[in-house]
Structure 1
Amino acid sequence: MLRFIVSFTLPALLLFSCNEQPSKVHIYEYDVESPFGNFVVKTPDFSDVSSFNITEFGALKDDQLATTEAIALSIEKAAAAGGGKVIIPEGEWLTGKIHLKSNVDLHLERGAKLIFSDNPEDYLPPVHTTWEGLECYNYSPLIYAYNCQNVAITGAGELYAKMDHWKTWFGRPPGHMNSLKRLYELAVKDSLVEHRQMVNDSAHFRPQFIQFNRCENVLLEDITIRNSPFWVIHPYLSKDVTIRNVNVQAHGHNNDGVDPEMSQQVLIEDCLFDQGDDAIAVKSGRNQDAWRLNTPAKNIVIRNCKVLNGHQLLAIGSELSGGIENISISDCEVAPNAKLNHLLFIKTNERRGGYVKHIFMNNIKAGSIAAGILGIETDVLYQWRDLVPTYERRLTPISNVTMKDIKATNVDFISRVLGQEDLPVKDIQMVRISTDTVRSETPNIHEALENFKTE
């Protein structure tokens, strides 16, 4: 159900510091149904705002500097007017970073293609962002919105990231590992984020493609995204996020499709994912940083999506220290020939703390899966295992996971749940799970699991 609720008319100074006029953006409420109860997602509507075509502000094809400056000026003018659409017209446009402002819709017309530089210098100065669940100052995301309200990226055009230089940063040489260790230890000591400056000669922390950082009323609709230096779409500490009819293809390193992190009231629907990593990965920060921020990922509905490739259809964690609850994914399809490890994979370790509860997966169709339908592992540390010690041990309670009406053709196992004796996984229900072939002699592999039900 859709409800119009408000068009802001208070003085902009009281609402959004980046505007000079009252907001002209309408806000609608969508009622979202879920197994854990209905909730509302607020969505901005830009039908009554003015348009600001970047060509009117000096954008030139084949001139990256002119186009980057024109986009920035168009965004500034749209925000100052109380709201506006920044129009990217048909054609190919070279650009550097784009920083959005409140009440602005970056709108790509059909046939428009924004081509983002792969020169790291174009994403400086550093901004307040994250790296794998830890806050820091790093290269700006290619598209970045910080503390914005009513912000959108829409249209039938394409966002394209050049990758030649970013690919040289995919490895983890000693300089990168040392910077990982330094950031981890700064977070353990609860140092100010401003002191965590991670741009140096060898850290090579690649930026996200799109990050909404501490934003409200966010809309991504109809766009196509190709390639990404790192995570593709990253709503971080944000509320009321709608991602609809978005087509993502990214096969670089750590190319998750969507990573809602410590975000709430999120709707992801009718999207297509072709990923080199997880299609959708719900996260809530890492260790001490997330304990400090104390914001769970909560009320997230994913529906009617298709996955062509990805490590998992839905991953939970491993950055989950702020807690994750009320996640529903339904009516999704994985292509028969997709490269996939799990449909649902929950991962954590003894350093994370947090919690995972009320996870629902319903009506999913898939082909062959390399691992299984459900995987839960509580000792996933990757490169961090030997890099830094466990400074504070906090286990993750995991409970109330329900999977119903799941069909796959060929799997290694139905479920593999590897809990910890100190804190077993609890209350897993799998109903009407259908597979043509199970390669393992033991379809359900369980350690430290209490109350497993299957029908």
Structure 2
Amino acid sequence: MKKNTIYFLSLVMIFCLSFKDKNENLSFEYVSVQAPFKMSKIKIPNFSKCPKFVITEFGALADNKQKNAQAIDQAITKANQIGGGTVVIPAGEWKVSKIHFKSNVNLHLEKGAILSFSETPSDYLPAVHTTWEGMECYNYSPLIYAYQCKNIAITGQGEIKAEMETWKKWFTRPKPHMESLKRLYNLSAKNVPVIERQMVNDTANLRPHFIQFNRSENILLEGVSITNSPFWTIHPYLCKNVVIRNIKVYAHGHNNDGVDPEMTQNLLIENCIFDQGDDAIAIKSGRNQEGWRIKVPSKNIVIRNCTVKNGHQLVALGSELSGGIENVYMNNCHVVDGAKLNHLVFIKTNERMGGFVKNIHINNITSGKIDLGILGIETDVLYQWRNLVPTYERRLTPIQGIYLKNLKATKVKFISRILGQKELVVNNISLKNVVADSVFEKKHIHENVVNFKEIK
């Protein structure tokens, strides 16, 4: 019995020492964030002491996307196997197809490095478990994809860009594409298993995200420039503990939001520059039955010290918000003069979404001219879905606790336009020192709003 006990304890010690050795170089940082709500520290990985794996050591050749993809995959596997490592992309332009992360890996782009992603759809097969506008499905892989990963990062001073010729052709929405959207909507509404929602065919043409972190945690995206995107640019989906900082995004295609946090919690976005064809930051939480089924709100999100050069909105909430959105704090952001922008803050939903929006704080924002206004809240935004598919279940969205302080624009149509519903009015909106140099339509346009306060 004694020998067995000693043998067992020896095995435990060997296991513990092996585990320690495997992870001894990977450490963590805990980022403290000040906000008007309780928010725990954000845990992110630190790879500064981890081994480095340069892709040329694995056979990478600048113009050979197949060899480069294989080299990056082998380097990622090696870094994962030792419990933490940095995959280095050296200076130069490297053609590549999809990149799939594994846990404990940092993809690092040195100064002058460019990862140029293929525009060939077949390079993003087989289909993976992903999403399209708030609905889960199997579709083309995101160009950079992490699924159920922990402790991952994309860092450096290099650039990742998408070649766009094919994706541009897919921007249009012909009837076969719309029929595929209708099919996905119906599959989601009826809670058909996601594995049966196969959307890769000759007519769906559902463009992939550029970067999707899917069901992952402890994520850092820092320093890199991102150019072009087939669809949403950065999409943290069902993630926890995410820091996005010091990045530059330029993407002017269709649906080219900058960052789309969806059902994601404990997120910091700071010191970034956005030049977008759609919303700079769009916070989401699933569409209709999908959001109700998963029941994870987007929560504890802080955005600070960012600059927007173009976009539809500085920050949008919705329209996919069926899981709910709460505890959002944006502070000290700037929209450059001459930017093309509809609103600084836009909350959008409809009778199918349900969910909720509450406890939203927007402080210290400056902007030039805005095409519409500073604050917009609309509860009947359906876009192409209005006549495409029916309302299977009607659920309204409670919107309450929206606080704006120290926002200034030069020229606007309105300061606020809030279009609530008689059955569920918008409640508790506070504007303190929210001003424009000139208002050329009407200062406030309100329907079905209670407890609206404006303080000079």
Q: Deviations over 1:28-63 (max 9, x none)?
A: 211111012343111110012100000000000111
Q: Which amino acid aligns with 1:135?
A: E
- 1:434 deviates by 2.0
Give the Cα–Cα distance (whole angstroms) in 2 for the partners of residues 303 and 25 of structure 1: 28
- 1:64 deviates by 1.0
- 1:422 deviates by 0.5
TM-score of the two chains, using structure 2 as the length reference: 0.95
Check conservation: 1:33, 1:39, Cα contact below 8 A: no
Q: Which amino acid aligns with 1:449?
A: V
Give the Cα–Cα distance (whole angstroms) in 1 for the partners of residues 120 and 434 of structure 2: 48
1:295-334 matches, cutoff 5 A: 295-334=296-335
User: CA distance change for structure 1 residues 23 and 371 in 2, over 3 Å: closer, same or farther?
Assistant: farther
What percent identity do the matched residue pairs reach?
A: 61
TM-score of the two chains, using structure 1 as the length reference: 0.95
Q: Which amino acid aligns with 1:113?
A: I
Name the counterpart of 2:165: 164
Name the counterpart of 1:395: 396
Q: Which amino acid aligns with 2:133?
A: E
Name the counterpart of 2:201: 200
Give the Cα–Cα distance (whole angstroms) in 1 for the partners of residues 349 and 26 of structure 2: 40
Name the counterpart of 1:5: none
The reply on whether 1:227 has 2:219 as its aligned counterpart is no
Q: Which moved more, 1:287-296 or 1:27-36?
A: 27-36
Aligned residues: 442
1:61-76 matches, cutoff 5 A: 61-76=62-77
Q: Deviations over 1:89-123 (max 9, x none)?
A: 00000000000110000000000000000000000
User: CA distance change for structure 1 residues 138 and 10 in 2, over 3 Å: closer, same or farther?
Assistant: farther
Name the counterpart of 2:359: 358
Give the Cα–Cα distance (whole angstroms) in 2 for the partners of residues 267 and 111 of structure 1: 27
- 1:23 deviates by 6.5
The residue matched to 1:350 in structure 2 has which SS? coil
Name the counterpart of 1:4: none
Q: Which amino acid aligns with 1:190?
A: N
The residue matched to 2:183 in structure 1 has which SS? helix
Check conservation: 1:23, 1:103, Cα contact below 8 A: no
The reply on whether 1:423 has 2:424 as its aligned counterpart is yes
Q: Which amino acid aligns with 1:317?
A: G
Give the Cα–Cα distance (whole angstroms) in 2 for the partners of residues 422 and 23 of structure 1: 58
The reply on whether 1:447 has 2:447 as its aligned counterpart is yes
1:225-264 matches, cutoff 5 A: 225-264=226-265
Structure ID, larger Rg? 2
- 1:433 deviates by 1.3
Check conservation: 1:426, 1:452, Cα contact below 8 A: yes
Give the Cα–Cα distance (whole angstroms) in 1 for the partners of residues 357 and 292 of structure 2: 15
- 1:21 deviates by 4.0
Name the counterpart of 1:143: 144
- 1:11 deviates by 6.5
Check conservation: 2:425, 2:448, Cα contact below 8 A: yes
Give the Cα–Cα distance (whole angstroms) in 1 for the partners of residues 89 and 112 of structure 2: 9
The reply on whether 1:122 has 2:126 as its aligned counterpart is no
Give the Cα–Cα distance (whole angstroms) in 2 for the partners of residues 304 and 25 of structure 1: 29
Give the Cα–Cα distance (whole angstroms) in 2 for the partners of residues 79 and 115 of structure 1: 24
Q: Which amino acid aligns with 1:50?
A: P
Check conservation: 1:309, 1:338, Cα contact below 8 A: yes
- 1:222 deviates by 0.3
The reply on whether 1:60 has 2:61 as its aligned counterpart is yes
Check conservation: 2:177, 2:204, Cα contact below 8 A: yes
Check conservation: 1:61, 1:67, Cα contact below 8 A: yes
Q: Deviations over 1:189-211 (max 9, x none)?
A: 10100000000001000000000
Name the counterpart of 1:277: 278
User: CA distance change for structure 1 residues 362 and 192 in 2, over 3 Å: closer, same or farther?
Assistant: same
Q: Which amino acid aligns with 1:69?
A: Q
Check conservation: 1:10, 1:22, Cα contact below 8 A: no
Give the Cα–Cα distance (whole angstroms) in 2 for the partners of residues 131 and 181 of structure 1: 12
Check conservation: 1:11, 1:22, Cα contact below 8 A: no
Check conservation: 2:39, 2:300, Cα contact below 8 A: no
Q: Deviations over 1:269-296 (max 9, x none)?
A: 0000000000000000001111111000
Q: Deviations over 1:259-318 (max 9, x none)?
A: 000000000000000000000000000011111110000000000000000000000000
Q: Which amino acid aligns with 1:167?
A: K
Name the counterpart of 2:48: 47
Give the Cα–Cα distance (whole angstroms) in 1 for the partners of residues 237 and 266 of structure 2: 12
Name the counterpart of 2:10: none
Give the Cα–Cα distance (whole angstroms) in 2 for the partners of residues 367 and 290 of structure 1: 36
Gaps of 5+ in 2: 1-12
User: CA distance change for structure 1 residues 275 and 23 in 2, over 3 Å: closer, same or farther?
Assistant: farther
Q: Which amino acid aligns with 1:222?
A: G
Give the Cα–Cα distance (whole angstroms) in 2 for the partners of residues 344 and 444 of structure 1: 15
The residue matched to 1:194 in structure 2 has which SS? helix
Check conservation: 2:344, 2:375, Cα contact below 8 A: yes
Name the counterpart of 1:3: none
The residue matched to 1:39 in structure 2 has which SS? coil
Q: Which amino acid aligns with 2:443?
A: P
The residue matched to 2:41 in structure 1 has which SS? strand
User: CA distance change for structure 1 residues 30 and 10 in 2, over 3 Å: closer, same or farther?
Assistant: farther
Give the Cα–Cα distance (whole angstroms) in 2 for the partners of residues 208 and 274 of structure 1: 17
Q: Which amino acid aligns with 2:203?
A: S
The residue matched to 1:32 in structure 2 has which SS? coil
The reply on whether 1:434 has 2:445 as its aligned counterpart is no
- 1:10 deviates by 11
Give the Cα–Cα distance (whole angstroms) in 1 for the partners of residues 327 and 305 of structure 2: 18
Name the counterpart of 1:110: 111
Give the Cα–Cα distance (whole angstroms) in 2 for the partners of residues 30 and 122 of structure 1: 37
Give the Cα–Cα distance (whole angstroms) in 2 for the partners of residues 38 and 160 of structure 1: 34
User: CA distance change for structure 1 residues 153 and 11 in 2, over 3 Å: closer, same or farther?
Assistant: farther
Name the counterpart of 2:3: none
Check conservation: 1:283, 1:320, Cα contact below 8 A: yes
The residue matched to 2:32 in structure 1 has which SS? strand
Name the counterpart of 2:155: 154
Q: Which amino acid aligns with 2:318?
A: G
Check conservation: 2:361, 2:403, Cα contact below 8 A: yes
Check conservation: 2:39, 2:266, Cα contact below 8 A: no
